[in-house]
């Protein structure tokens, strides 16, 4: 998969769409695609991929988007590395599925919601959701493994020369460890802010805009207007989620916003006031 494929936020549609929607439509919970879990924004015990009235998701009208969990070289002396979702801003249509690919381990996807002790930063009526902490699919690792595999692009054991870790094949050729994936169907229009619980302080947060509904009571371009942690975002995530590139209208206009497009990254990414604990 090329970088251009990632920029449109719709990588892996073809065969992937058919495979993923079989899982989502069937309400599969875990492992149907090798380390794949499914969820739904109304996940209250109903199977993943089902709407809140129990009807199956409609595969014919749903698009599968890919978001990768990545770790890159630090753009700031305030952080040991850049921890981020790629893309960091994404526009989808109601009913679309986002496939989170855990190309680097020890990440998750969590909605900002009072159930998790945080200000609601998802549309009213949408239930809180969170993936488990995920990384490599355990079934793709040797039973006697003692050290973690090399991360894609690192050049170490388990990474092939020139491997940029784009998640296109996900190890389906059996040549190495396979990233786990987690699926979520976005049904209700509106703005969704998400974070990685282990790395939120380092800025690992993202925004998904569903449909054309860009008004959100919580949205602001001023980090000082955010609630203080723990109700509000923590650390560098405060700057990420108030970055002009992630304004809802900007995301709808672009369709997909990469981490490198954020002003906070282009300016050197000092945490500044965002380091409030």
Cα–Cα dist 218/28, whole Å:
33
Cα–Cα dist 16/85, whole Å:
20
pTM: 0.76
Buried b (16+ CB within 10 A) or exposed e, 146-169: eeebbbbbeeeebbeeebebbbbe
Q: State residue 267's pLDDT score.
A: 80
| pLDDT, average across residues 16-25 | 44
Report the share of the chain in percent with pLDDT over 70.
66
- Give CA separation, 263 vs 52, 69, 241, 247, 257, in Å: 38, 20, 11, 12, 11
Q: State residue 176's pLDDT score.
A: 82
Q: State residue 198's pLDDT score.
A: 97
The residue with greater pLDDT, 205 or 164, is 205
Q: State residue 36's pLDDT score.
A: 55
Per residue, the 3-state secondary structure of 108-137, as one string, reads CCEECCHHHCCCCCCCCCCCCCECCCECEC
Structure tokens at 159: 């990474």
Domains, the chain, with CATH or none: 3-268 (2.60.40.420)
| pLDDT, average across residues 8-31 | 39
Helix/strand/coil for 70? strand
Whether pLDDT at 48 is above 60: no
Task: Determine contact, residues 8/103, Cβ cutoff 8 Å.
Answer: no
Q: Strand 181-185 and strand 97-101: pairing?
A: antiparallel
Out of 32-36, 54-58, 136-140, 164-168, the most confident range is: 136-140
- Give CA separation, 185 vs 132, 156, 264, in Å: 16, 35, 29
The residue with greater pLDDT, 32 or 201, is 201
Q: State residue 269's pLDDT score.
A: 57
- pLDDT band, residue 38 (cuts 50/70/90): low
- Give CA separation, 253 vs 83, 94, 211, 246, in Å: 25, 16, 12, 11
Determine how many CB atoms are found less than 10 A away from the CB of residue 59: 17
Q: Which residues contact 144 (CB under 8 A, 6 or more apart)?
A: none
Whether pLDDT at 68 is above 80: yes
User: What average pLDDT does the structure give for the chain?
Assistant: 77
Structure tokens at 249: 């209208």
């Amino acid at each position: 998969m090329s970088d251009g494929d990632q920029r449109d936020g719709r990588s892996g549609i073809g065969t992937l769409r058919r495979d993923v929607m079989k899982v989502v439509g069937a309400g599969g919970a875990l492992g149907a695609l090798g380390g794949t879990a499914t969820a739904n924004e109304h996940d209250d015990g109903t199977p993943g991929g089902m709407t809140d009235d129990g009807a199956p998701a409609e595969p014919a009208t749903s698009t599968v988007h890919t978001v990768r969990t990545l770790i890159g070289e630090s753009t700031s002396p305030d952080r040991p590395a850049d921890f981020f979702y790629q893309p960091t801003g994404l526009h989808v249509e109601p009913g679309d599925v986002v496939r989170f690919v855990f190309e680097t381990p020890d990440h998750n996807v969590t909605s900002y919601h009072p159930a998790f002790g945080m200000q609601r930063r998802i549309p009213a009526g949408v239930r809180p959701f969170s993936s488990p902490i995920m990384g490599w699919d355990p079934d793709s690792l040797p039973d006697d493994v003692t050290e973690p595999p090399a991360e894609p692009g690192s050049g170490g054991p388990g990474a092939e020369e020139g491997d940029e870790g784009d998640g296109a094949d996900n190890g389906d050729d059996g040549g190495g460890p396979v990233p786990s994936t987690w699926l979520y169907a976005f049904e209700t229009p509106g703005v969704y802010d998400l974070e990685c619980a282990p790395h939120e302080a380092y800025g690992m947060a993202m925004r998904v805009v569903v449909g054309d509904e860009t008004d959100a009571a919580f949205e602001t371009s001023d980090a000082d207007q955010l609630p203080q942690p723990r109700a509000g975002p923590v650390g560098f995530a405060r700057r990420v989620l108030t970055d002009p590139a992630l304004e809802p209208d900007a995301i709808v206009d672009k369709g997909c916003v990469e981490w490198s497009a954020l002003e906070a990254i282009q300016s050197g990414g000092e945490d500044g006031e965002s380091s409030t604990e």
